[in-house]
Structure 1
């Protein structure tokens, strides 16, 4: 399976995510990141990315990552929505938001989306909200460019 058209539209409308990687000592590290999404994979770049903990963690072989893209449509009424992704990351070179540079390419393995329609959440309808879980088909990674 892959992302639905609703999930793709939501992901392409967002600009900020939270990325969790794991360091060589087992310590999880979560950081806000800008991202690009091509409908299948996510790309995390930045300025001097090799100097960041997230890049060093993946370069050290800790390739399992979690990515959360979320926002609040409204605070009154409370209206959150999100996509959460578990996947693997690898370091690649590509042209993207940060020009031609090194990026983390994240291949999703499992994702969950919740309330992308932006329905208010409250005591009267709390039971009607359930996340959509998707197991993504195996996809070969993009070729890395030296």
Structure 2
């Protein structure tokens, strides 16, 4: 499976994600990142990305990553929304949003979405999280 139409619309509406990687000593590291989505992969780039911890973590062989896109369109009423993505990352060379250079290419493996239709949410509500297992797409 892949992202639903609602998840795709949300994914394309967001500009910032939070990306978590893990270092060789097991320390999780989460950072805000800009990203692109090409319909199959997420791409994370930046200015001199090879010097960043996230790139070093993936280069060291820790390829499992987690990304979350979330927002809070209203606090009164409370309206949280998110799309959480687990995936496998690799380093690739490409010409993307941040120019020509090295990017993390993330192949989604599992994702969860919550309240993307933007309904108010309270303590008495039972929110529904949608889980999707993605087809693994071979890089090429």
TM over 0.5: yes
Moved more, 32-41 or 51-60: 32-41
In the TM superposition, 1:64-103 aligns within 5 A as 64-103=64-103
- CA deviations on 1:73-122 (whole Å, 9 max, x unpaired) are 11111101000011110000111111111100000100000100010101
TM-score (norm 1): 0.93
Which residue of structure 1 lines up, in the alignment, with residue 133 of structure 2?
A: 135
Corresponding position: 1:14 with 2:46 = no
RMSD: 0.9
The answer for unaligned runs of 5 or more in structure 1 is none
For 1:110, the equivalent position in structure 2 comes to 110
Give secondary structure in 2 for the equivalent of 1:111: strand
Q: Which runs of 5+ in 2 are unaligned?
A: none
Cα offset, 1:123, TM superposition: 3.4
Q: How many residues align?
A: 140
TM-score under structure 2 length normalisation: 0.97
Question: Post-superposition shift, 1:130?
Answer: 1.0
1:123 counterpart SS class: coil
Deviation, 1:62, is: 0.4
